[in-house]
Each structure stands twice: as C-alpha cells, then as structure tokens.
A and B are shown apart, each in its own frame.
Chain A
C-alpha cells in the first residue's frame, strides 16, 4: 500500500485534500453494520438526519432506505434513534 501513496514531494502542503472525501473509503473501520427491517421501517428518515457520515440514503423508487457501506463506520446512532427499532446492528 505504502508504495502507491504520494511521497512528501508530491503531496499538496498543509494537508490540502487532493481527492474528494467520497473517494476515501472508511467503511472498513466498521465492526457492526446496520441492517434495516423494511417491514418495520416507516420511512420517517430520522436515521438519515442523524447519520454523522451522510451514509443513509432514501431510495425513492424502491421506497426503502439504503446504507452506503463504503462510508458507514458502524457507529450505531441510526439503530439507537430509530423510533420503531427497525435497524439492527449486525456483527460483520
């Protein structure tokens, strides 16, 4: 991995980001992943509002919420906040 990363001569100074954060995959930090029970879910979208990583999306066509597992770090806030306990944290 190290050999593929930029060295100090090529990196922008001051930690300036040279790729968008969406390309920086943080999903592998996760130990537990959120899984939704679509039967229970009322699509209130509280989970979407609470998610600190913006990793929960509303799929309008499927009328379901979707998790972006590339960026979800498994914090569990969505499961905690869900008023109908439709989200369960499952060990990876």
Chain B
C-alpha cells in the first residue's frame, strides 16, 4: 500500500512451517524478481535450491543464472540490475568474501541488488556455523545491512529490502542477514502474505532519469536504444565526488527504512521497533545490552527473567547496522547507567567488535556518557545460552555499583 492510499485492514495471511532459508526463498518468489544468479554455499544453499525449484516448476517468471562462483553471481546481478531489472542473490562466509570486490562495484554503480546472507564464520579453521564476521567485515562496502532476529523477520525484511534498495533517492544494494543454522535450518512458524499482496507492495522498479553524454534525459538503465555509460574510469578528478554521493544516499536510508517498515506493518501487522532499532523494555532501564540477530531472542527471555526479579534491565536490538542508527542508539541509551555490547565478530588487534566500535563511539558525545563494555561471543557457532547473558547483566550491575570497569573488552563462552 502506497502512502496516501486508504487504510487497509491487515492482509489475510497463511501460517507455514519454514526454516529461515525457505522463508527467504518464499519472499523472493513473491517479490517479482527478474534475475537470480547464485552459487551454492552452506548454509545459504537452501535459499537458491528452493528458488530454482520455483523456476523449474514455472511458479516464477525469473531468469535463473547458474554461475561458476560468487564473484560471477554478484557480477551477473549487478549487470542485470544495471538494465533496470530487479535482482536477488544469496551467499555466506567465503562466498561473500569472494564477492568483496563486486560489492563495491555494485554500490558504486548504484545497482539496487538485494542479497540474503546466512551469517557463517570465515575460515580457517573451516567452520560452517554462525558468527557475523562475514557481513560485519563488509560494513564499508556501501551496502544497506539489515539483521533479522528470526525467520519471520527474514521473510519480512527481504520484501522490504527491494523497496528500500530500489527507492529512486537511494539506489544502493541491500543485504539481509540471518544467523546460520539457528535460523537458516530451523523450522519456524512463518506467516506469509498472499502473492498478490507482496506483488502490490513491491510494485515495479521505479527507474529515475539521468542526463546522458549527449545531454539527453534518459532512464538510468543500460538500454541499446538509449546508450549510457556507468562506472567508467574515474580518477582523482571525479571519484571522490561519486563516493560523496554514496554517503548522501546512505543518509536518506533511515527515513526510507522507517517509511517502508511502517507501510509493511500496516499491511502485515508485524513491526520491528521503528525499523532501525528495537527497544525491548528500555523505558526505565538502568542496565542494557546491545546486539543483532537471533541472540536478541534469547536476551529478551533473560530480560524478562531479570525484570521479574525487579532488575531494571533492557535490550536494544539493532536491526540495521549500515547505516548505523545514530540517533536511535544515542536516544535509547541516554538514560542507562551501564551498557554491554555483544559482538558475534571480532576485529583482531582492535579494541573490541564492530558494534561496540559504533555504540561506544556514539555515546562519547552523549551528555551522560555511560560506561560501555564489550563481549565477544559465539564465534564459529558457539552457543550463547541464557546463563552467559545473565552473567553479562550481572557484570553491568557490578559496574553500576562500583563505578569501575575492570575489562572493557572480553570474550565470553570461550574456554581458558
């Protein structure tokens, strides 16, 4: 439903038993995608496996391109997107790392490719299980990053991602992350919208106009009838200006995410905070944790247990990491007395993990400037059980009590 339309009642939905990968494939099936190019890698494989079945069965009108590597998968999507097509791919870990070069080419060419990432650890030693190292390391590639907490959110986020990425004021690619196995291979009740409702929501890709080399105003897409050059040699005289434009596009993303999220919420009845962050029992929280992904679900249970005992605990879940929701983080944490950031990725030799860097950095400018500590957890799929999260909140209580931080950065759940 577009803004300005009459309010609609929540759309009729069907409950399906889907794992995270299947939920993603289902969302892509409904989103009227023109081109999918992908290469299999655990734990993402089910996404494109299911999708190739939809293609085989004639359930979608999508060109499915089998390629020989992830580098080519993203290149094919980029090229298709440059012609105005709606495109999708999926990857993880080493596959995403192999795409690294083309991630920058895609955003630089302002190609709104949507990609699902099932977060998996990077080798070596080889490991197929969940951590966020693969996508966190791509934070600087000018891609929008949305982290899902559960498979339902993965489904919803994929549909929203097409609208956000293709927004004519943005035109940046978007990744939607879901945790390997915890979500990708775990069966969950997922409410799905009708094909028609999703199709109406995503609409057709709107192509903005641009001036070509003859001074003519033409659609921003590769078309033999209206030749256009994208992403050519761009040296010290213009490259910097083009990068500056990308940052400007990123600045417009939070508004678009909120808007698309609101529209989607009206249709589906599902809301994830304000689309950028989700505050869980943060109203009067004295101690709080910050995290992304499925661990937020476990943490909510821990917060409930602590609240039952009278501890004023809260959770701030980041749904987007790029762009980082600056205002929301500062606003949500301004009244808190101590904050713990949980990172499922580590920057070796740095001072803590990637989310910690952002949160602590942002709070430096806040009036209250609460102590912010960091816990690196769950690397290579190591479980993050409730008792470890309880320990983090206990540490925060101690920091509030003693006003002292013993260890600003530590690992949790690793054997000594």
Contacts and interface: CB of A to CB of B under 8 A. Distances in A.
A82 B337 CA distance: 79
B213 A15 contact: no
B213 A19 contact: yes
A15 B237 contact: no
Given A5-B237, A16-B229, A11 B242 contact: yes
Given A6-B241, A17-B229, A17-B232, A12 B211 contact: yes
Interface residues of A, number: 16
A14 B242 contact: yes
Give chain B's interface secondary structure class: loop
Contact of B230 (A11, A16, A20, A21): A16
Interface string B18-56: 000000000000000000000000000000000000000
Interface string B86-124: 000000000000000000000011100000000000000
Interface of A: 2, 5-8, 11-21
Contact of A14 (B214, B220, B248): B220
Interface of B: 108-110, 171, 210-215, 220, 228-232, 234, 237-238, 241-242, 244-245, 248-249
A15 B231 contact: yes
A20 B228 contact: no
Contacts of B234: 15
Given A5-B237, A5-B238, A11-B238, A16 B210 contact: yes
Contacts, number: 60
A15 B238 contact: yes
A8 B244 contact: yes
A18 B216 CA distance: 9
Contact of A15 (B171, B214, B215, B242): B242
Nearest to A11: B241
B241 A7 contact: yes
Contacts of B229: 15-17
Contact of B220 (A8, A16, A17): A16
B244 A12 contact: no
Nearest to B214: A20
Centre residue among B213, B215, B231 by max chain A CB count within 10 A: B213
